[in-house]
Chain A
């Protein structure tokens, strides 16, 4: 198996775990930029293999939106709403790591063997991708702060891209550009909504918003 590929996949997986460990939002935003950069490098490798110009365009767009724009937006977000943005979690760190380990084991279990067997030579990397998805979902479940949840969604999306790449399920460049546009719009809307929620409730912690029901 290609060592570079392994390294990039491991980077993405480890940043997903890192999200759970760190308790500072600025580090979380930076970790997301690193994770996205790894995805960009994976896509760039795909461009080198195919020589497709549209793939190059995709790489540039991903770099611009997921790495630079997202980092910029999140950094501003953290600065602006520092008192309101929490990085606390429901589970303490040891317990969180136990659940992360359980999910990783589950992703490598027989249950997911049919998915990992899509491309047998990439089976380990595919399992890492699945583990990344599950751990990203756990981030959304476990964290109280809204920023961690936004990054959880984006990390989930990165894990899906990685899974798709290793499974040979790459979609057309047009579709990937469409997805990037979708993420761009989503980031903008999330930023606007977050600022509206903060203005209205004075907090960006989901635990504070239970009174929204009914």
Chain B
């Protein structure tokens, strides 16, 4: 049966399911309810089928390769490769898309009568299909087509809520940045084509010897910028905190959970599979990019009071963590340490899977909150744990997982990343040791700050008292929304407890890459659920889980029997210094983060706007209210994008001088260009 799923016919069925979902959505565009059920049920079916296809390809003894249809262009072939790496990413995309689609059945109801549900469903199905095509394409031109399908569909999803001008701006920024990235990717593929004479990945891989080091380095830089823009590496991340919050929450979950990982997938594919061997500095660059993105991503998240922007910045942080694993893999490979490289790649892949589960859970949780309260501003939330207890528990699960608290999955993938970096410190020479030290330090900082950030986020949203009228009247989300979130929370825990087995599978996935062929003794051993990194360190997730359960039980029992049982409970009002307790007395998310932000003010360049409203306008002795707005200077805009924009504008103004408006002049340009072309070509 698995052979059928992982075959050309199985894959065609997969694409057909999304195509029918998309076409039907447009057909039912006038009936919101029908369009909603049609699009999301087909997306669910397609995603479920996608998981089977992925599992089939994972268990297949050999990579599954096939070509579909006929291409009118000789260089473009609709060829697919379902090796274990592609299958892993297909699985992650399908898994998250499945639960997001279940969630969407109830979530999109609030758009009924406001925006076309049919168009939303159309682009949603096309978007998921685009991601699956990206992960399975085996020809550069076909990959670019798939990449474009994914990008354009996600653009239309980002601007779905088009009444808000901010969303339109976010969408346009995303569109510009994604196409800027695509331009770099096209340049990279053209260089590869020039050296190997083909866009087929297999031909590029086999013709790798013909690629000169200069071209390889150029392809690396172009790919890093191109795929890094999609992944959200700092400083190419500017679109991400704008676009992810603008999109509907199930789309944000997909974009943040899996779409940005397509950039990571292509980095692995191009760097490790197509371009190996490579110089040492590639890995070092990735390590530095990862360390910077991880640390700055979490710092920017701390400064946010928009819940979805906070989560978007955490995506940048987690992409940084994934890059730390990938960067160490590349560095180890350059230093002829393939077994350690495998450890780094497994850490990277594991964190990819984990981040997909807990980040989509968090976005879906945030969507449930926003759906009820109609605000993304955490300062206007609070006290939702009593009104939305299930959502609070689910969000807490996601928060614990992303904060790398055991026994959740985030802990174990970060643990593996740490092992990889520690091995780098222990096993490499003075050329690279300092990079590993900085990367490990950055990861340690990131872990601590992420925890602080989610204490802030959970506290501001769910604890204390509601700080707005909307927050006071929030209710638990409906069935399908909860049904989409509960399994993701369960998976966040499950992938933690069984992380030893997952690491084993991922070791098989990574080990099939050509660079790891012929190295039978892996550094990472995962037996009976225990993960051991070369005997240097080990962790047993089931034991950690059991110990935590026992500890919880012991604490609960001790309090219940030793303390609470003997005490008489009396209820009375809290002593409030003679004043009524109001939400204004609560610590805000800004107040919580302020001290940490000020520690890093050299990097973050915070801006503070203070305003005082007085009871007596003239003397100003009696303040009525004080307001502090804490912001972060956008140094990327001021130091990178604005100068680049100014330069482009100046060039455009200069080039506009050519635009005389005289037809004669334009014909002269044509004549000159024709003569020039003939002169150089004949």
Contacts and interface: CB of A to CB of B under 8 A. Distances in A.
Interface of A: 90, 106, 111-115, 134, 137-138, 140-144, 149, 206-207, 209-213
A106 B675 CA distance: 9
A112 B659 CA distance: 31
A137 B659 CA distance: 19
Contacts of A134: 671, 675
Contact of A206 (B659, B662, B670): B662
B44 to A, nearest CB: 52
A54 B368 CA distance: 74
Nearest to A133: B674
Contacts of A207: 662, 664
18 contacts: A90-B664, A111-B678, A111-B682, A112-B682, A137-B674, A140-B663, A140-B667, A141-B668, A141-B671, A144-B664, A149-B664, A149-B667, A206-B662, A207-B664, A209-B662, A209-B663, A210-B661, A213-B660
Contacts of A138: 671
B679 interface: yes
The main secondary structure of chain B at its interface with chain A is helix
Given A112-B682, A114-B682, A209 B661 contact: yes
Interface string B648-682: 00000000000111111101101100110011001
A173 B679 CA distance: 32
Given A111-B678, A111-B682, A115-B682, A212 B661 contact: yes
B671 A137 contact: yes
Nearest to B660: A210
Given A138-B671, A141-B671, A111 B679 contact: yes
Interface residues of B, number: 16
A137 B674 CA distance: 10
Interface in B309-363: none
Given A140-B663, A143-B664, 16 more contacts: A90-B664, A106-B675, A112-B682, A115-B682, A134-B671, A134-B675, A141-B665, A141-B667, A141-B668, A141-B671, A142-B664, A209-B663, A210-B662, A211-B661, A212-B661, A213-B659
A114 B681 CA distance: 10
Contacts, number: 47
Given A111-B682, A112-B678, A114-B682, A137 B670 contact: yes
A149 B663 contact: yes
Contacts of A213: 659-661
B664 A140 contact: yes
Q: Among the interface residues B670, B675, B678, which one has the most CB atoms of the partner chain A within 10 A? A: B678
Given A111-B679, A112-B682, A114-B682, A206 B671 contact: no
A143 B678 CA distance: 24
A59 to B, nearest CB: 30
Interface string B188-223: 000000000000000000000000000000000000
A66 to B, nearest CB: 21
A23 B314 CA distance: 73
B676 to A, nearest CB: 11
A148 B663 CA distance: 12
Contacts of A210: 660-662
Nearest to A139: B667
Contacts of A90: 664
B661 A137 contact: no
A141 B661 contact: no
Nearest to A110: B682
A113 B665 CA distance: 28
B669 to A, nearest CB: 9
Contacts of B678: 111-112
A111 to B, nearest CB: 5
A98 to B, nearest CB: 16
B161 to A, nearest CB: 34
A-B pairs with lowest CB-CB distance, top 9: A213-B661, A210-B661, A140-B667, A141-B668, A137-B671, A206-B663, A141-B667, A141-B664, A114-B682
Contacts of A206: 662-664
A190 to B, nearest CB: 13
A13 B307 CA distance: 75
Nearest to A207: B662
Interface in B568-595: none
A153 to B, nearest CB: 9
Nearest to A113: B682
Contacts of B661: 209-213
Contacts of A111: 678-679, 682
A207 B659 CA distance: 13
Contacts of B659: 213
A139 to B, nearest CB: 9
A143 B663 CA distance: 10
Nearest to B665: A141
Contacts of B667: 137, 140-141, 149
Contacts of B670: 137
